[in-house]
């Protein structure tokens, strides 16, 4: 896979995880909710960094 395809795949996966966590927040036990939310936050933040990097790198 090319670098751009890898970045797009990671962005889609991180947003999908966040969406699933938002949709299933009532059915998750509290001991699992916080670590998954932190993981999703880190992944979304890294996705934005990769997105900005790919825009700046392509110019």
The structural domains of the chain, with segments of one domain joined by +, span 3-58
Token pair of 10 as six digits: 């990671």
27-56 per-residue burial string, b: 16 or more CB within 10 A, e: under 16: eeeeeeeeebeeebeebeeebeebeeeeee
Sort residue 29 into left (φ over 0), alpha (ψ -120 to 50) or beta. beta
Q: For the segment 44-55, what is each residue's pLDDT rounded down to a tens digit?
A: 999 999 889 888
Q: Looking at residue 56, what is its pLDDT?
A: 87
The answer to whether the pTM exceeds 0.75 is yes
| pLDDT band at 1; cut points 50, 70, 90 | low
pLDDT of residue 25: 87
Mean pLDDT of the chain: 88
First-to-final CA distance of the chain? 21
Q: Is the pLDDT reported for residue 39 higher than 70?
A: yes
């Amino acid at each position: 896979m090319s670098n751009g395809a890898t970045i797009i795949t990671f962005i889609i996966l991180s947003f999908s995880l966040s969406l699933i966590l938002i949709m299933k927040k009532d059915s998750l036990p509290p001991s699992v909710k916080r670590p998954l939310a932190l993981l999703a936050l880190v992944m979304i933040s890294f996705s934005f960094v990769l997105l900005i990097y790919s825009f700046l790198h392509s110019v």
